[in-house]
Structure 1
Amino acid sequence: MSRILKLLSAAPLANTGSVARDHLANERTFLSWTRTGLGFVALGVALAKLDALEALSPALAHNHDHGDLKLQSAALVGSGTGCLGYGTLRYFSSLRGLKRGLFRPNIVGVALVAVTSGAVAGGGVWMVVRTEKEV
């Protein structure tokens, strides 16, 4: 057990200049990526459960394509999983860079979240508009 704890522990760094502040900011950013990813996953799971609930209730089942909800659910869960993975990779990449005194701006991650959020919002609007036309 002590070997595992030794592998997981980090070497202490001298707190000169903004070292501690930079590493704490990196940890907060990782937690933000985690929160965003878990939010996408939770929304995808909730959407899938809503689809299952609609299938059980005849009053709720109205000319509704369940394939769209499953696709949206899968996209949300996939996006959330991607956020979790990317956030973890970004954290360790930034950690290595900070130890060497370097920092690389996060252009790719921000662009991916913006595109994913736009696609999810667009898909939601499309589903609502299409459902309204069918009713």
Structure 2
Amino acid sequence: MAEGSGKSGGVRDLLANERTFLAWIRTAIGLMGFGFVVAKFNLFLYIRGLYTRRPTPGSGTLGLVLVGAGMGLLLLATWHYHQVRTGILSGDDRPAAHSPMAYLAAALLFAAGAALLIYLGRTRLP
């Protein structure tokens, strides 16, 4: 058994789990912030006179998708943090045989990136 783990739920393991959780939270916040920027960027260009066409409705929709993806990532991160913490406190040293967290997060981010790619392909600045 590794140092800092076991029945008492090693402090190092608990802190490492919390650091990982905070990294996922930072990623989710970044994704939500990026969604906000995407949703409002065309409007900003239009107001400044740099964009002569009316803001496209797709930017608002894509921004909502990105914010939603960030919120989904936040929920996944919270669920994963709780699962790992419960395992550490119960003395289970082994990681879960198959944790879907990384796969679900990657799928969420891939879908958000694909939506952004499609949006950018359809709306180009003059």
Please give the TM-score of this superposition, normalised by the length of structure 1: 0.73
Structure-1 separation of matches of 2:108 and 2:4: 37
The answer for unaligned runs of 5 or more in structure 2 is: none
Q: More helix per residue: 1 or 2?
A: 1
**Larger Rg: 1 or 2?**
1
Q: Does 1:128 align with 2:104?
A: no
1:99 aligns with 2:89: yes
Does 2:19 correspond to 1:28? yes
1:115 and 2:102 are equivalent in the alignment: no
Instruction: Give the aligned CA root-mean-square deviation in angstroms.
Output: 2.3
Structure 1: which 5+ runs fail to align?
1-15
d(CA) in 1 for partners of 2:65, 2:98: 23
- Please tell me the residue identity of whatever aligns with 1:79: A
Q: What's the % identity of the aligned pairs?
A: 29
How many residues align structurally? 118
Q: Give the one of 17, 24, 31 matched to 2:4.
A: 17
Report the 3-state secondary structure (helix = DSSP H, G, I; strand = E; otherwise coil) of the residue aligned with 2:51: coil
1:53 alignment partner in structure 2: 44
More contact order relative to length (CA 8 Å, sep ≥ 6): 2
1:36 aligned partner, one-letter code: T
